[in-house]
Structure 1
Amino acid sequence: MSFSIEGKTAIVTGAANGVGLAIARHFVEKGANVMFADIDEGRLMKEVGKQAEEARMRYFAGDLRERLTLANLLSATLDSFDRVDILVNGSRQMMPTDPLDMDDTSVETLMDQNLMTALRLSQQVAKRMIKQAEGQEGGQAGAIVNLSSIAARRTHPSLLGYSVSCAALDQMTRSLAVALAPHRIRVNAVSFGSVMSASLKQTLKDHREYRGDIEEHTPLGRIASPDELTEAVQFLCSDSARFVTGQIMTVDGGRTLLDPVAAPAH
């Protein structure tokens, strides 16, 4: 099977770098119309700007934590491509949490960024998908994929906020899958382990010893490249996955097969 997404229109958030950028570029290569969305306008212009006038590529810069920004993102996508068939919620943030510091606001920050942004945008996009599908019988009305992390299932106190937000995102995925199933919209997530994202690059720069730790606790013995997640996401967005919804697909090189307490979830 080809897992075709050709001709579909996708919004990919977190698309200025790392995993989000890899997914957005991959979708363009596979024939989809793609709106690259991120808060970092400079990076978007660098990565997409020169190609933004091509028929299948556009970019949108803004703070997706703001409700009005989300509405403007959807409007910009419809202005450019007339419809939206796929949403990839790839806008994520990671920061350490001090579990004993009552003034630490990282949990609230990460819940807003990693959970609420995805929920609000999913709600707006789902309404559009439902409207587009009016009068149509059979087939899928749309697909939503959330980017999560194996941190949702692992124990690492200094990543409390990130872990909680990812666990909540996984449950949101399941809940939305059930709620949107009658409208023929599928909702899934890809939960990944150590991927050479922008944040992990910085972490490894600051803590060089982490690389050996990650490789030691990953059965496949290495860190994944962002490109290694793209085809899993493409599959979940394609008609080949038309009977797959509410699933958390793990792409981690076997990391979660090991003791979740003994190894940090870098």
Structure 2
Amino acid sequence: MSLSISGKTAIVTGAAHGIGLAIARHFVDRGANVMFADIDESRLKDEFADTDTSEGPVRTFAGDLCQKLNVANLLSATIDAFDRVDILVNTNRCFTPCDPLDPDQTVLDDMLQQNMKSSLRISQLTAKRMIAQAEKDGRTEGEIGSIINISTLASTRSQPETLAYSIACAAQEQAVRGLAVALAPHRIRVNGVSFASVMSRSLQDALKENAEWREEIIEGTPLGRIAAPNELAETVQFLASSGASFTTGQIIRIDGGRGLLDAVQVPVF
């Protein structure tokens, strides 16, 4: 079984912080060309202040991927830099608590736009590019691309303050399954990774305000700790590689066993 992604080109969204950054750097370390995409331009500049991003395996793109033009520009920048795209990893997401009894749907609309619609749009456009590449290359057999979405355990949990976020995460996971079926005839695989108890940027920020949550998470996680972002990267690499050539439409849970118990009242970010 080959887990190699060497020589492939990947777009990783949400790649300036936490989980997205860890995955993107892991891919570069494994020999892939990677476009680091994020809305946070200053963070991207700081992260690569000592790196020449005009050549080599690393490029950066700053823009709000909820805007259709930015999605098109991201794809164009990737093709200009690397001439193709083989892997898309959507880690771009955000969390906003909400009042579940508030009839104002602004938070829900924002969560759906940020966490599901934007990743769906970029997945659709990237898939079209992958199909066009295969036609141009005359590739009639074998896999031509892999798309991986990052979600959370919130998709299956019902905590009042995370209602909008949970709906958006569940919608994102359903998008994985729907796209997997739609793109299977085109030889593009679509999968997801659902996490909990991972030290994402959102969790870091939350622990600054609620230090007691750390112990609650650890006690409610059978493996007894909070995972580091790079622990998701190996699973994402597997899904992107030929080692997962017969895997599509799956949501793989990386949560240290928390979902088996989940007596924890701490929201999953």
Question: TM-score per shorter chain, which class?
Answer: over 0.9
1:104-183 equivalent positions in 2, closer than 5 A: 105-134=106-135, 135-183=138-186
Under a length normalisation based on structure 2, what TM-score does the superposition of the two structures give?
0.96
Task: Judge conservation of contact 2:151–2:172 (CA < 8 Å) in 1.
Answer: yes
| CA drift at 1:97 | 1.1
Contact 1:4 1:238 in 2 (8 A): yes
Q: Is the 8 A contact 2:148 2:193 kept in 1?
A: yes
Aligned equivalent of 2:198 = 195
Distance 1:156 1:244, change over 3 A: same
The residue matched to 2:42 in structure 1 has which SS? helix
The residue type equivalent to 1:82 in the other structure is D
State the shift of 1:104 in Å: 5.4
Alignment of 1:230-241 (within 5 A): 230-241=233-244
Q: Which residue of 1 aligns with 2:260?
A: 257
- Separation in 2, partners of 1:78, 1:49: 23
Describe the superposition over 1:213-261 as per-residue Cα deviations: whole angstroms up to 9, x where unpaired. Answer: 111111111111001000000000001101000000000000111156x
* Overall identity of the aligned pairs, in %: 60
Q: Distance in 2 between matches of 1:259 and 1:250?
A: 13
Is structure 2 residue 100 aligned with structure 1 residue 102? no
Output one character per residue of 1:78-106: Cα deviation in whole Å (capped at 9) or x when no partner: 00000000000110101101111223521
Aligned to 2:119, the other structure's residue is in SS state helix
Aligned CA distance change for structure 1 residues 264 and 198 (closer, same or farther; 3 Å): closer
1:35-76 per-position Cα deviation (integer Å, ceiling 9, x unaligned): 000000000011124321341000000010000000000000
Matches of 1:224 and 1:161, distance apart in 2: 25
| CA–CA separation in structure 2 for the residues paired with 1:235 and 1:170 | 18
Unmatched 5+ residue regions in structure 2? none
Aligned to 1:133, the other structure's residue is in SS state helix
- Equivalent residue for 1:9? 9
8 A contact 2:213–2:266 mirrored in 1: no
Quote the residue 1:55 is aligned against. Answer: 56
The answer to whether the Cα contact below 8 Å between 1:48 and 1:58 also exists between their aligned partners in 2 is: no
Trace 1:217-236 onto structure 2 (pairs within 5 A): 217-236=220-239
User: How many residues of Structure 1 are paired with residues of Structure 2 in the alignment?
Assistant: 265
- After TM superposition, the runs of 4+ consecutive aligned structure 1 residues lying more than 3 A away are 262-266
SS in 1 for 2:100: coil
Distance in 1, Cα, partners of 2:49 & 2:28: 14
CA contact 1:97–1:104 (8 Å) conserved in 2: no
TM-score by length of 1: 0.97
Indicate the SS of the match to 1:88: strand
Residue identity opposite 1:13 in structure 2: T
- For residue 216 of structure 1, what is the aligned residue in structure 2? 219
The CA RMSD measured in Å over matched residues stands at 1.2
Structure 2 CA distance, aligned partners of 1:129 and 1:248? Answer: 22
Distance 1:56 1:89 in 2: 19
Distance in 2, Cα, partners of 1:161 & 1:224: 25
**AA at the equivalent of 1:107:** L
> Which consecutive residues of structure 1, in runs of 5 or more, have no partner in the other structure?
none
